[in-house]
C-alpha cells in the first residue's frame, strides 16, 4: 500500500472514532474547563505533545492554562483542573499527579482508552476515546496503526473539538484568538 493509501485508511479510522465518544462526557469537560481558575494539562510521550497543543489553544482563548512540568507552571489549587491525556490511565508519573491534585482539592479529568484505570478511578471526569493501547492488546478496537497512534491522533482532534466548543460558549472567533498568538518572529 502507498503512503497516501495509508493516509486514507487512517482518516477512515479517525472518522469512526468520533461517533464513539460520549457527548455528555465531553460537555462536562468543557464546563469544568470554563469554570476553573487555572487549567493544567499533562500527558506522557506523544499524548503529552497533544496536551501541550491543547494548552496552547486554551492560552489563545485567554484561559489561564499550563503544562505540568514546565518551568513557568504555577501551583495547582482547589479551584483548578488537571486534565490528563493517557491511553492506559496507568502511567506512574501521571497517577502521582492525579493523586496530588486530588489531595489539593482540584478537579481531575482523564481522557483515556480505559476509564476504569487507576487514574480513571481518581478522576472526577473521564472521557473515553476509542483506540488500542501501545501493546495492541485486545480491547475490542482494531487499528492498522502502530502502538497508541490512533488514540493520540483522536486525542489531538478531541482537544481541538473541545476548543471549538469553548470558543462557542465564550463567543470567541479565530481573529480574537489570533491576537494572542506569538508575534516575536
Could you tell me the CA-to-CA distances from 55 to 8, 82, 121, 132 in Å, in that order?
A: 29, 11, 24, 24
Task: Confirm whether 25 is a catalytic residue.
Answer: no
Q: Check 9, 152, 168, 185 and give the catalytic one.
A: 152
Give CA separation, 26 vs 45, 92, 123, 137, 153, in Å: 23, 25, 14, 26, 17
Q: Are 36 and 81 in contact (CB under 8 A)?
A: yes
Q: What are phi and psi of 176, to 5 degrees?
A: -65, -45
CA 36, 167, 155, 69 torsion-angle sign:
negative
Distances (CA, A) of 157 to 36, 61, 96, 115, 160: 22, 17, 26, 19, 5
| Residues marked as catalytic | 152
Amino acid at each position: 500500500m502507498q503512503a497516501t493509501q495509508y493516509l486514507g485508511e487512517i482518516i477512515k479510522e479517525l472518522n469512526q472514532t468520533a461517533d464513539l465518544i460520549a457527548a455528555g462526557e465531553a460537555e462536562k469537560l468543557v464546563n469544568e474547563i470554563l469554570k476553573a481558575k487555572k487549567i493544567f494539562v499533562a500527558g506522557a510521550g506523544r499524548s503529552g505533545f497533544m496536551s501541550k497543543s491543547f494548552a496552547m489553544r486554551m492560552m489563545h482563548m485567554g484561559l489561564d492554562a499550563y503544562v505540568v512540568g514546565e518551568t513557568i507552571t504555577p501551583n495547582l489549587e482547589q479551584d483548578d483542573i488537571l486534565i490528563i491525556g493517557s491511553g492506559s490511565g496507568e502511567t506512574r508519573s501521571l497517577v502521582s499527579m492525579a493523586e496530588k491534585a486530588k489531595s489539593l482539592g482540584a478537579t481531575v479529568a482523564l481522557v483515556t482508552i480505559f476509564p476504569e484505570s487507576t487514574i480513571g478511578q481518581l478522576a472526577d471526569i473521564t472521557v473515553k476515546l476509542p483506540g488500542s493501547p501501545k501493546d495492541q492488546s485486545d480491547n475490542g478496537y482494531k487499528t492498522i496503526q502502530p502502538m497508541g497512534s490512533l488514540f493520540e491522533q483522536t486525542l489531538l482532534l478531541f482537544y481541538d473539538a473541545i476548543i471549538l466548543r469553548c470558543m462557542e460558549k465564550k463567543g470567541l472567533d479565530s481573529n480574537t484568538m489570533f491576537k494572542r498568538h506569538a508575534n516575536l518572529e
